[in-house]
Amino acid sequence: MYFQDVIGQELIIKRLISNIKNQRISHAQLFLGQQGNGTLALALAYARFVQCRNKGDLDACGTCPSCLKFNKYEHPDLHFIFPSAPNKEHKEKVSSKLFLSDWRKKISQTPYFEYFDWLEALGIENKQAIINAEDCNDIIRNLGLKAYESPYKIVVMYMIEKLSYQAAPKLLKILEEPPEGTLFLLISENKERIINTILSRTQILKVPLPGEEAVKKALTEKHTMDADTAAQIAFISGGLYTEALKLVKEGDEHLADFNSFREWMRLCYKNEAGNILKWVEKTAQAGREKQKSFCQYGLRIFRMCLLHNYNANDLIRFKGEELDFLSKFSRFIHHNNAIAIVEAFNEAIFHIERNANPKILFADLSFKLHRLMHVKTG
């Protein structure tokens, strides 16, 4: 990962490069933002640039010994810590080092992924992954050794909010008084869930959305997509590159989501309890990520409905059957119920991520929707 591979974020990249060249490198930096914003990608590109022996004005050289090792993320002075939990292969006490090959494979494919994509890669979707005491012990051991070949020993900690309270005390002292030439790059998407004593020891770098134009450019250049399709996906994704990648991957699955959503809304409006429960039974058989993606698709539909109601049709990227459904369905989504509907869907996504019973969840959401769709506009 190079700075040139990061989607958008030009201003932040300029600031990071300036800090390095002016030797103003904070020893503990927190990259804070939604994972679709590219926090991990930015941290990896930054780490490469710090270690590069022949830095250019705008990026790492790509040819020095350090850069060559970064190509496979096997630089001896680069260390990774991330949440983990026992899986089929490792059933006993685990730590990041046991899954290092899986991690390198994942970030080599793309550093633009969501936390639950990582859990799925390890086969631990239904478990609570954490950064544990053994991870912190590994950090202390690694940083106690002399750097192999670079001025800095870099520790990239992914999802620092998953650090367990029992393990945190082990990390505090080394974060506050690290060995010379140590750089911590912490990745987080939720500042409120980070232990305060950890948060207070870091310099926060807020990473914003890449934006639709940056996502559109990435789709046309990296996926050889025509400009109109790229613009539509960038808009529907809300400027999140991870969400755009999902839409690209889904392909025909997007149509399946539409058909299922349209059927569900019809059943909810008419309150056909028997058929709703049949639909719930079918939907409950899908995986957690599919259920979550389906709810996010619903949120996009509601967003388009509001745009339609406010005559912002130039911002609507739907076509064909979707557009026809939208024009008819939008009269049921208005200022008196839209906020409650969005909150219900966001709450559903929250509970899906925490392994809620999908039959109970979608049945409850269905009956909520029936009540909300019958709220009058006046």
Helix ranges (H only) for 86-211 are: 100-109, 115-122, 133-143, 168-176, 196-199
Q: How many Å apart are CA 252 and CA 207, to the nearest integer?
A: 32
Least confident of 194-208, 283-297, 311-325: 311-325
Work out whether the CA dihedral 131, 35, 198, 27 comes out positive or negative: positive
Question: For 16-26, how does the pLDDT look when each residue is reduced to its tens digit (9 = 90+)?
Answer: 999 888 888 88
Residue whose C-alpha is closest to residue 85's, from 143, 52, 127, 138: 127
Q: Which residue would you say has higher pLDDT here, 152 or 288? A: 152
pTM of the model: 0.75
Non-local (6+) Cβ contacts of 290 within 8 A are: none
Amino acid at 117: D
pLDDT at position 278: 94
Q: Work out the mean pLDDT of the chain and round it to a whole number.
A: 86
Instruction: Please give the Cα distance from 244 to 38 (Å, whole number).
Output: 13
Sheet holding 78-81, edge to edge: 78-81, 153-158, 182-188, 28-32, 203-206
Count of CB atoms situated within 10 Å of the CB of 13: 19
The pLDDT tens digits of the residues spanning 78-122 come to 999 999 888 777 777 788 888 999 999 999 988 988 888 888 888
**Cβ neighbours of 91 (radius 10 Å):** 8
3-state secondary structure of 215: helix
- How far apart CA 212 and CA 26 sit, in angstroms, is 31
Please check the confidence at residue 47 and state whether its pLDDT lies above 90.
Answer: yes
- Is-contact 138 97, C-beta < 8 A? yes
Strand ranges for the chain from DSSP E: 28-32, 78-81, 153-158, 182-188, 203-206
In the chain, % of residues over pLDDT 90? 31
Q: Which has more confidence, 251 or 99? A: 99
Tokens of 178: 């690290």
Average pLDDT over residues 293-306: 86
Which percentage of the chain shows pLDDT scores above 70? 95
Q: Specify whether the CB–CB gap between 31 and 39 falls below 8 A.
A: yes
Identify the sign of the CA torsion 152, 78, 188, 218: positive
